[in-house]
Each structure stands twice: as structure tokens, then as C-alpha cells.
Structure 1
């Protein structure tokens, strides 16, 4: 079976309602494997793809990868969850490595990226480019109401208020604030000033 006839017979063998004998199905599967396709036998969809796996990229500022243990845990969480789902590990790039449209397009094309998690950093032009390329975008650890991107984040101000309230109940009067790098100076100030930490 040559490559050009494979697609016709492969589709017919996998998707038709008419009975196809088992020998023909086996030949189709053998040809698919020989051509480099990975077969998802349990999907029930009959869908065959050269790469059926979801490839996710995480983009993180360099200084956070090097100097912030919280983000090591965030990236480990992505890795573990992708593993649990049977997908390849997330591809991690620094924001500098994908800083222009050519670089991000190359990453999407070469690694067949279907989703990007922008961790504690984003660029509006990059988000627009990813959306044009039909790549799902998720923000992690940032908050900007102007964007329509889904974001996973914690309520830092509520958390800071709760911590200050707890410390005051314990009798503490002088409370300091040590925080990691914030996306913006305003966010950093809000996290300190709003709960009453100066």
C-alpha cells in the first residue's frame, strides 16, 4: 500500500459504517505505523494523526526559573500532570527565547505546540499571535482584567489580609512583608498596602 492510497483506505477502513475485514484493518494499521503515525486505539474516534499528543509550552521569565523556588514547583506540577495524562512533558522556554514573532512561530511549528502557559509574564502581541495561530493560551500567576485570556492565580490581596489579620490576633504589632518579584510595581504595592503592611 503506497502513501497516496493509504489516506483513502485508512479513512475508509477507520470511519465507514460498512464492515471492513480484519485483515484490511490490520494492513491499514501496519501502514500507518510504518508511516510514523501513532495510533490511539482506545480513543473511539477513529482519528489518526501523525502526532495525536497535546504539546504544551510554558513560557517563564529567565530570572524566575533561576531564582524563584515557587516557579520550580509550578513547572514540576505541569510536568507531573502531563505525565499523568499520558502526554509528553511540557516544553519550557524563557520569555527571551520566544521574544519575537518569528521565534514563537518556529516553536509552534517545530514542536507542534497546541497550548501555551504564560507564567508570571505576558506580552499582548504574543497573545494575539498565538490566538491567530489557533494556539490555546493560559495565564498563570498574573492578573490583568484587560485581557480575555483565562488565568490561574491566587488572590494575593485576600491572602495578605488574612495573614496580617492572623498575626494581629496572635499579638504581633510590627509586621513586615517579603515578596517575590511582581509583574508590576502597582501589584507589588497593592499586595503590601491594601492589607496594611508598610
Structure 2
């Protein structure tokens, strides 16, 4: 019998049970003994029967599929969350579908969004979403179960699982201040998810708490990629009084900063200390190892799946905001602030050379 022609009736007949019993055994909804369930599943496997998710959805049933919406599959941070979400989804014996939006979460009125909200899944998880305000409003008005990870741009009625960016950034800059740094630069990332803005808030708070007046020249715009970090560092190094430390809003930009510093034959951290955020895979192996902050990816992914499952099962949600503290990881890219006279003399020597 060809797989395309196999129906639930065929499976029920093969297993020697009613169609209704076969349906309960395969869907997991309603009672079926373990013996019956095993017999029906064996018959389905032998016949090559695959339940039609669309048919189940049209009948008001669940598809046992979780949709995960991402913007950039090349991102190591996104990949970390997707992997952890997949592991948690398996615990519920469900499948996962990944939709790569390529950053195209536009006005909230397009065909793609409609397909997402009415697709073959029971609920959606958005990972680091870059979305317009209209798109967010449409999601908020939807009846589909939705959870977002690390969305900080604005307040929303949707449940959000997020890491603590503000206090993490404050800790990072306070560490640099304790090492004696006073000229501390910040490399911004894009404003899509709101994380960069929160990390900048932490940066400014640490300076203010230490009585250090912020210098607007020390805040440079990046784009969350390595090249933009290198460009930002070159801009900072061209200042009349360059920074002795750089805090970048993510690791990719911090690694770019380190490349630009090496171009100028500056030592890390003897001449300039560098801190990133996210603790991406390469941060521990680069030389020197990058001091950074990390969010607890696995616990956050678990919390997101668990919150989504509560809503899929029409149970009360845990809460609208689930926030996890950042962990500060100190490596070799940070050290004591260099003395200004010695640093200036080295700079003059390099210029003369």
C-alpha cells in the first residue's frame, strides 16, 4: 500500500480497533491503553501512515508543533537559543519548526504574518525579534499563544523571557572603574530588540555612580557585527584622548574592537581593556580571552517553552516578565588602567615611527 493512500481507517483496520480508538492512540488526546497505543503505533509505522497536521488543525485539534521565529540563523546567540528550545520541546514529545524571517518583521499586515499566526503549529516563540511597532501590535491582538525571548524595546502584553542587561552592563563598567579606568567607551548595537539601549543604560549608570562625567565622544554606533566593532574602535582611537577601555554591546563587536587595536599595535589589556556581552563561542578561545557577560541560555529557553506550553494548554501563565540575571565572566582582556603619561608617551612614539 502506498504511503500517500494510507488513511486512519487503514491503520485502525490493521490494528483491529475502531477509527476513534486509533485516533486517540496516535494523537495522545483521550484515553487509550498502553497496549492499544503500542499496537496502533506499530500498525501506523508498518503502513507508513503520517497524521495530517492540517486536518487536525482544521478540526480544532493540536498539531504538536512549536514554531520558532528567528531573524538570523548565522548568529551564534540565536543558534544557542534554538538548540536549547529544541531540547526542551522534545521533553513534551512535540516537534519544532524554524522560520527564518531574515529581519523581515514589517508592518504587521502582510501575508507572511497571517501565515505565521495561522500556521501548522500550536504556538510561537520569537527569539531576539526585530519587529516594527505595528507588527508587535498585531501579535498582541492575536489569539495564538506567543512567547518572546530577549525583547526589551518596549512594554508589551506578550510574555517575555529576558536576561538582565542593565545590571549586567553596570557590573562590567564597574569592573573597569575598579581597575582604574576613567576613559571608558561604549559601542552601541542596533535598537531593534532594545538590548543595546538597556546595556547603554547600565554603562551610564556605572559612570554616574562612580562620579565620572560621561563623554559623548566615547559612545559610538555599531551594528552588532565584527566589522562595525572594528570601525567603532578606529573612530575611538582617532580621538585626541582615546579611551583606555572599551565596552561593546556584544561579543562580535568586541572582537572587532580587538582586531582594530592590534592593527594599531596596541596591547590588550595593557594599553586598552575590552569587554563584550553574550559570551559567544569564540570569546573564550580568542587571545587574550574576552571578558564578557552571558545570559543563561538553557534556563531561559526552558522557561520560554514551559510558558508557551501553559498557554497552549489554556493554563494560567506564570507571569508576563521572566528575567534572569547576567553572569559576569572575567578573562584576560581586562586589566589595570594604564597611567596617562606613559600611555601618551607610547602614543607619541608610535606617531613618530
Please give the range of the TM-score, normalised by the shorter of the 2 chains: 0.5 to 0.7
**Which of 166, 169, 176 is 1:157 aligned to?**
166
- Confirm or deny: 8 A CA contact 1:9 1:28 kept in the other structure: no
- Confirm or deny: 8 A CA contact 1:140 1:151 kept in the other structure: yes
- Confirm or deny: 8 A CA contact 1:121 1:142 kept in the other structure: no
Deviation at 1:75, TM superposition (A): 1.6
Partners of 1:161 and 1:25 lie apart in 2 by 56
**Which of 5, 9, 12 is 1:2 aligned to?**
9
RMSD of aligned C-alpha atoms? 4.1
- Confirm or deny: 8 A CA contact 1:58 1:93 kept in the other structure: yes
Cα deviation 1:119-170 (Å, max 9, x = unaligned): 14334443444452423231424242x3122223333332232222221211
Matched with 1:92 is 100
Deviation at 1:111, TM superposition (A): 4.5
Partners of 1:123 and 1:181 lie apart in 2 by 13
Q: TM-score, normalised by structure 1?
A: 0.62
**Which of 79, 83, 86 is 2:82 aligned to?**
79
Partners of 1:188 and 1:194 lie apart in 2 by 10
Structure with larger Rg: 2
Matched with 1:193 is 204
- Confirm or deny: 8 A CA contact 1:117 1:139 kept in the other structure: yes
Matched with 1:134 is 144
Alignment of 1:10-21 (within 5 A): 10-11=22-23, 15=30
Matched with 2:39 is 26
C-alpha change, 1:91 and 1:25, in structure 2 (3 Å) is: same
Matched with 1:176 is 185
Cα deviation 1:165-195 (Å, max 9, x = unaligned): 2212111121111232234696576354333
- Confirm or deny: 8 A CA contact 1:56 1:114 kept in the other structure: yes
Q: Which has the higher mean CA deviation after the structures are superposed, 172-181 or 111-120?
A: 111-120
Q: Are positions 1:122 and 2:134 aligned together?
A: no
Deviation at 1:55, TM superposition (A): 2.3
C-alpha change, 1:123 and 1:182, in structure 2 (3 Å) is: closer
3-state SS of 2:186 partner: coil
C-alpha change, 1:50 and 1:37, in structure 2 (3 Å) is: farther
Partners of 1:122 and 1:20 lie apart in 2 by 45
Partners of 1:16 and 1:156 lie apart in 2 by 46
Q: TM-score, normalised by structure 2?
A: 0.39
- Confirm or deny: 8 A CA contact 2:129 2:151 kept in the other structure: yes
C-alpha change, 1:105 and 1:188, in structure 2 (3 Å) is: same
